Structure 1
Amino acid sequence: MDNTNIFLNVVDSLSRYRRAEIIDESTSESLIESLYVDPLENDLILKSMMKKNTVLLIGRKGTGKSTIINRFQHEIRKTNDRISLYIDVNALFEQAKKTSFQTNLNSLGLSQRNLERLNLYIAFIEKVITEINAEIKKNIFNNPIINLFSTQGITKNKFDEELENLFKETIKPTFQNITDSQQIASKTKQSSKEDNLVTLDASLELKNPHLKTSIKAGESSEMLKSDEFTSILSRYFNIIKFMNDLKILLSKIPIKDVSICLDDVSEIDKDSLEIFIKFIVAPLNNLSDEYYKFKISLYPGRDYLPGIDRQKVKTFNLDYYELYSLNNSEKVEEQAIAYTERLLEKRFKYYFGEKFNIYSIFHIDKENTPKDLYKLLFQISANVPRILGKILEIALQKTNSLTTKINRKILQESARQHDKNDIEYILKKNESIEYKSYDESFEQFHLAKLLNLIIQKAIENKKHIGKSTSNIFKDFNANTAPSNYLYFPKQLEDIVKTLEFNFYISKFSEQKHRDGDDISVYVLNYGLCIDNNIIFDNGSNRKFRIERIFDFEKLIREWMNGSKKIICENCSAEFNIEEKGILQKYGCLTCKSKLIKIKSVISQIEHKKITESFKIPKNQFDILISLNSKSPQTATLLGSDLDRSYQSISQSTNKNSKLVKHKLIDRTTSKGKTHFRISNSGISFLKTGKI
């Protein structure tokens, strides 16, 4: 195998998404143990996962949450008295949406909206329970280490029979004692408008379709609360009895504990997540005498686990500042670079052999040492393995399949191209994306404006530093002045967290402002900096990055006040967005009403541009962008690139999709596989926004 194909294996192993297994093609064996590199030294995260406790893995997409779960399960399979079950929560939830539950629920007297949600929750929980059944069978019957003939003498057939009966009984709809539910239904009919001030959910919907803006201003609602839904569901599924009966059965093998790995939990909406956690996760976690424990992957800001004592849960935030600042906030960058080096060294030595020399692939000299290389790779990837893999794949193309070595300039240009291909479009093409409501479109428009304001200030900062006579800036001119930093008070972090989630910015440190106040320091995306001729600081001087020129608090607050206003629905009084806290506590300052909503401020020209442009759904737009950067691709490859299942891609490319109806993509079949590529019409749509 030539170096190009070997290098492709390296980057492919880094770019794998979700549960995609890395397999040795010659033996069909998993390579997870050979390639795994723990984000912490001495495999501290894996060791913590192996303990009989619940563990949360929190991080942005591509930070390695699923890889850690995969490695954990690989280790559990080596034991003869422990099993782990993998549940793709979002995939089951999507399946549940397409399921029609047959039980007659009309006798409950619920509103149509509540009936629809209840149907969804019943179908979802049934899917979860069925999946647990399948996972138990897979992990026990396919594990040669586990002895199915225990001292009690249970056989494989007997175990299978008892297991089937247990699960059939659990998912059988045996609704009893509807009195409480009818009382709940009656109570909801008396509900009127919400009395609570709407809050601005900063996790605006961007790359992740379930991280969205929530503007629920005083709308008429009869929706049951989560506790009320849970009460009704408990009459369909006796989770406590199920949990205890399953424990008794598994103990006969004997299995001493069960770890349930929940992936993609953050993808489902908050209401459904709350029901799922309260009805299944919390009871199994809290009431099973440590028999059932969970390993859960979550997105930052979506680690909502009602009913679980977070003090008894081990949490790892995999984004580099949060992960490495716990031990020594002064050495965050040093530890992050060390992880990048360990990660790549292990991959290169496995695929190229132990004698691999980094000089054979990368341009190394006195000015570009291996240490400098790993620091650059950390900076351009924000320490995210998947991003690192994508950028290295682009770099491979730019070297014409390694006919030249990968140098600093190639890596910088690859980071810029990755930003253009995978990040920039999320905001800049907002008017072409079909959201659930125009309110969401307006939110995206305002967020794009905030990003542009940040970029423009960074460009101006570069000029200012270059011309400054200040002693701290004396070594820089207009062409070399770094201006990739921005800082603001910690309480404003929620406002920019969507920019962070989508990798426009990344948290770099927490420091004291010159005035003594606590501030959060962020850095702009490396590729974005290259694209806008912004110099990325290579020195990381603590005093430099808290210079007043990098204070973005005023800019962010002015953006907030210019993009949002609070309106009283009762008297039409208007208030500044910064008065939200007071209004939330006391109501309208004019008439005391709590019928208050947050509204986007948008001009008629901007409104017309957003409302009249041709749009396609976000999940279809993502496919178009992926095909624009790389065509052709199969549904599996698209799913890998977009972190979605094969079924999800197929749904977005069926004959009823706008991609197909408007001929934005072409479909061909080769060797029994369907391949997709962007059409000329699709390219034109991305450029002009028109079809």
Structure 2
Amino acid sequence: MDLDKFSKISESLRQYRRAELRDFESDIGAKPIEKLYVDALPGNAVLNSVLSSNTTFLLGRKGTGKSTVFAKAQSSLRGKSEIISVYIDVKSLIEVLDSNTSPVVELESMGISIVAYRTHLLRKAMLGRVISELLKEIRANSEKLTLLDRWRGKKKQYDELMHCLSSISERVRSSRLEQHEIPILQRISQQIRVKKQQENSYQKSDSARVGGKASLTQAEMNAELNESSVDFDKTLDDTEIYNEYSDVVLKSFPFGEIIEEIQTLISEAGLLRLVVFFDDFSELNFVDQRLFVDVVLSPLNNSSNETIKLKVAAYPGRVYYGKIDPGKADTISLDFSDLYEASEVQEMERSAASYAERLLVARFDAFEVSMNDYFDFSSEIERIEMMRLIFQASFNVPRIIGHLLHTLYLDRISKSQKITNASIRLASKKYYEGTIEKYFDRMNRYALEPFENKLDRHNQNELLRYLINEAKEVRRKISSGDVGGGYFINIKGTPPTSHFTVIPGLEEVLASLEQNFFVSRYKNMRDKNGNGVIAYALFLGLCESERMVWGYPEGREFRHYFQQRCFEYTRAIHQFLSRNQTIKCNYCGACHPMEIKASLELYKWKCPECAEGICGITNLAEDFKDEVEKLDKEIMLEPVELEIVSILHDESKRMRAGEISALIDKTHQLVGRRTSKLRDMGLIIKEQDHDGHMKSNLTVRCEETYFGEKH
């Protein structure tokens, strides 16, 4: 039993950053991706789909392996001299942007607010940086392919084209206000001011309390802070304003020139196409996603005469196609419920467990150790059951499997004890309680972010508690014989209540809980009336924490266990929503019952009270608003800073910026800057280690403030 290799296996699965896994080259050799890649489907079906000549959207939640598929696909394409492939990590480009670097021009006379101006320029800088990075990567890859040798006797000189690409790259990076952008920014600024005036009229007492205490300059500063980028984005909810704004932004970039130069490169060098991998696309907020598609992806995809093909990684339910025809693009989901969909749950679980086993076998083989040395496989049946449990405990997310193995390393392997089913369940419980569950409380208490984010997280937490209580109530009713007639009579012990079904229309309600792995879509099925429903499963660690049984009873008579009516939660969730949401007009402030939602949708959400405003769903949480007001703003950190101190606390060791970045999905440059800031705040100690690397760990003050017993 090699403890060090097992630890490295778990680390290689836990890491967020792109799956090139250079940290492990000394252990498994060069090009680790070639040894570690395991396709989610037999015959490398997912990889082959991504390698097809179509534009492809690869969907999956965090940690499901999208970057790994892209890394393997790009590795395969590097062997084809007729194709150029480039990789763009969208989120990492945005992380290095600084919203305070844009020069402030004379705005008052133009009727443009400072926030509208800065938000716009930051948005342009983000899009410009993506385009610039694309052109830079094209130039770099062209040089690697020695395209100059193919260029003899061509109409356009190779050096001339490379110079042109470089010139365009520099031009799109410069973010400045242009004359044709002023009218739409004036309109957006006016919308923001009107909205603020309406809010102030609803909250006169608050305005009076704030006003009068500040000087004129301070009042102006407060106004700038209140006119947040959230207000800017809300104005873009209006389709007409968004379309005008996106057209204006698109005109800022010379896409005609860009497409022409790329096509020249492809044709003159005798290439087939350019393949561009855009990763972490869904990390953008929804407005930025729309602009990214409309301003960057659509022109590249639709105007290139098939010479450019896009591969885009995104989260399920957060895909905006814009002017890209979904019918002409491939969409592949990495979530197990889509990959292994079958007529029966048991068949789906077998396929999912098979992938979990293939993934682990390949990982252990790459590090030249045997799984049998670490797992307590007393028989083949025990092996099958344990792999099925790995799937159930992780929803087949490689990163969660890595976290489970890390906990198992601490609990079992470090003590030279083999892994058992009971230890896997305990690891799942610890991961839930130590990582997933703390997500709500820690972020709401300490994250410096818009109130809307805290409110959404609060409501998701309330919904989760509601689902857990509903599951416990169903368990009580089954045990007492109040539901199910004689169907449940032969169940031995505590009845499982980990799964529930809802109508497809409630997917959006559960999306945030699913994105953060509290629940997972499990299977599309039919209820007893023949209607289509979706079965969801609570996270195994959550069930272990709440002392609920996960799964379904053994025996053929229970193959349709979750189709029983007591597991249908549609009505219960509607009751929860009716108590926590209302429909409110953004103009007159009138509130309407949720029951008229369908009617309002027909009339494009026009307010039936004033006929002027647009209605929207609003969460009711006055008590929570009071709670947020009482929080200590002085100790709040930006979300990424909170992630950094949380990782340092959880890992309990000194760490390099690269080690931290690998676990929180941020660039090491960003982590380096933020740890320096946290050091200046007295929360982190940064010191050079004996190996020459700068490492960080938490100060006593930081531990006591954010992780002390009282919290």
Distance 1:185 1:372, change over 3 A: closer
Q: What is the distance in 1 between the residues matched to 2:425 and 2:560?
A: 26
Structure 2 residue 688 is the aligned partner of structure 1 residue 669:
yes
Consecutive unaligned residues of structure 1, counting only runs of 5 or more, are 195-212
CA contact (8 A) 1:466 1:476 kept: no
Structure 2 residue 473 is the aligned partner of structure 1 residue 460:
yes
Distance 1:273 1:220, change over 3 A: closer
SS of 1:369's partner is: helix
Q: What is the distance in 1 between the residues matched to 2:187 and 2:631?
A: 43
Shift of 1:101: 5.6
Q: What is the distance in 2 between the residues matched to 1:140 and 1:342?
A: 37
- Deviates most, 563-572 or 632-641: 563-572
Shift of 1:527: 0.7
Shift of 1:403: 0.7
Match 2:363 to one of 343, 347, 358: 347
Question: Which structure 2 residues correspond to residues 485-564 of structure 1 after superposition, within 5 A?
Answer: 485-537=499-551, 539=553, 541-564=558-581
Q: What is the aligned partner in structure 1 of residue 648 from structure 2?
A: 627
Report the residue type matching 2:244 in the other structure.
E
Q: What is the distance in 1 between the residues matched to 2:417 and 2:545?
A: 23
Aligned length: 661
CA contact (8 A) 1:390 1:418 kept: yes
Q: What is the distance in 2 between the residues matched to 1:283 and 1:431?
A: 39
Shift of 1:184: 5.0
Report the residue type matching 1:152 in the other structure.
R
Q: What is the aligned partner in structure 2 of residue 136 from structure 1?
A: 138
Consecutive unaligned residues of structure 2, counting only runs of 5 or more, are 196-228
Shift of 1:88: 1.1
CA contact (8 A) 1:189 1:222 kept: no
Q: What is the aligned partner in structure 1 of residue 620 from structure 2?
A: 601
Distance 1:15 1:584, change over 3 A: same
CA contact (8 A) 1:489 1:553 kept: yes
Shift of 1:647: 2.5
Report the residue type matching 2:387 in the other structure.
Y
Distance 1:599 1:371, change over 3 A: same
CA contact (8 A) 1:148 1:154 kept: no
Shift of 1:235: 4.6
- Deviates most, 562-571 or 308-317: 562-571
Shift of 1:305: 2.1
* % identical aligned pairs: 24
Shift of 1:569: 5.9
Distance 1:215 1:326, change over 3 A: farther
SS of 1:472's partner is: coil
Q: What is the aligned partner in structure 2 of residue 652 from structure 1?
A: 674
Q: What is the distance in 2 between the residues matched to 1:592 and 1:570?
A: 9
Structure 2 residue 34 is the aligned partner of structure 1 residue 37:
no
CA contact (8 A) 2:99 2:118 kept: no
Shift of 1:619: 2.0
Q: What is the distance in 2 between the residues matched to 1:286 and 1:22?
A: 34
Shift of 1:568: 4.2
Q: What is the aligned partner in structure 2 of residue 94 from structure 1?
A: 95
Shift of 1:452: 1.1
CA contact (8 A) 2:277 2:311 kept: yes
CA contact (8 A) 1:265 1:298 kept: yes
Q: What is the aligned partner in structure 2 of residue 199 from structure 1?
A: none
Q: What is the distance in 1 between the residues matched to 2:298 and 2:527?
A: 41
Structure 2 residue 659 is the aligned partner of structure 1 residue 641:
no
Distance 1:176 1:543, change over 3 A: closer
- For residues 333-385 of structure 1, the C-alpha deviation after alignment (integer angstroms, 9 at most, x for no partner) is 222111111111222222225xx3x4321112259611101100100010101
Q: What is the distance in 2 between the residues matched to 1:53 and 1:328?
A: 32
CA contact (8 A) 1:430 1:445 kept: no
Q: What is the aligned partner in structure 2 of residue 203 from structure 1?
A: none
Q: What is the aligned partner in structure 2 of residue 6 from structure 1?
A: 5
Report the residue type matching 2:428 in the other structure.
A
Q: What is the aligned partner in structure 2 of residue 197 from structure 1?
A: none
**Structure 1 length as normaliser, TM-score?**
0.86
CA contact (8 A) 1:87 1:262 kept: yes
Report the residue type matching 2:582 in the other structure.
K
More helix by share: 2
Report the residue type matching 1:424 in the other structure.
E
Q: What is the distance in 1 between the residues matched to 2:281 and 2:314?
A: 6
Shift of 1:326: 7.7
- Deviates most, 584-593 or 379-388: 584-593
Q: What is the aligned partner in structure 2 of residue 202 from structure 1?
A: none
Q: What is the aligned partner in structure 2 of residue 410 from structure 1?
A: 423
Match 2:497 to one of 465, 483, 486: 483
Compute the RMSD of aligned alpha carbons: 3.5
- For residues 152-203 of structure 1, the C-alpha deviation after alignment (integer angstroms, 9 at most, x for no partner) is 3579x96355312333046437999988656656766876968xxxxxxxxx
Q: What is the aligned partner in structure 2 of residue 617 from structure 1?
A: 638
Q: What is the distance in 2 between the residues matched to 1:514 and 1:222?
A: 41
Shift of 1:617: 2.6
Q: What is the aligned partner in structure 2 of residue 369 from structure 1?
A: 382
Distance 1:16 1:603, change over 3 A: closer
Distance 1:160 1:527, change over 3 A: farther
Q: What is the distance in 2 between the residues matched to 1:245 and 1:273?
A: 26
Shift of 1:265: 1.0
Q: What is the aligned partner in structure 1 of residue 404 from structure 2?
A: 391
Distance 1:569 1:253, change over 3 A: closer
Q: What is the aligned partner in structure 2 of residue 333 from structure 1?
A: 349
CA contact (8 A) 1:487 1:520 kept: yes
SS of 1:25's partner is: helix
Q: What is the aligned partner in structure 2 of residue 78 from structure 1?
A: 79
- Deviates most, 640-649 or 165-174: 165-174
Q: What is the distance in 1 between the residues matched to 2:513 and 2:529?
A: 27
Distance 1:398 1:158, change over 3 A: farther
CA contact (8 A) 2:236 2:287 kept: no
Q: What is the aligned partner in structure 2 of residue 15 from structure 1?
A: 14
Question: Which structure 2 residues correspond to residues 178-197 of structure 1 after superposition, within 5 A?
Answer: 181=181
SS of 2:367's partner is: helix
**Structure 2 length as normaliser, TM-score?**
0.84
Q: What is the distance in 2 between the residues matched to 1:168 and 1:291?
A: 22
CA contact (8 A) 1:114 1:223 kept: no
SS of 1:522's partner is: strand
Distance 1:461 1:610, change over 3 A: same
Structure 2 residue 319 is the aligned partner of structure 1 residue 303:
yes
Q: What is the distance in 2 between the residues matched to 1:583 and 1:575?
A: 10
Question: Which structure 2 residues correspond to residues 561-572 of structure 1 after superposition, within 5 A?
Answer: 561-568=578-585
Q: What is the aligned partner in structure 2 of residue 172 from structure 1?
A: 171
Distance 1:125 1:224, change over 3 A: farther
- Deviates most, 445-454 or 428-437: 428-437
Q: What is the aligned partner in structure 2 of residue 148 from structure 1?
A: 148
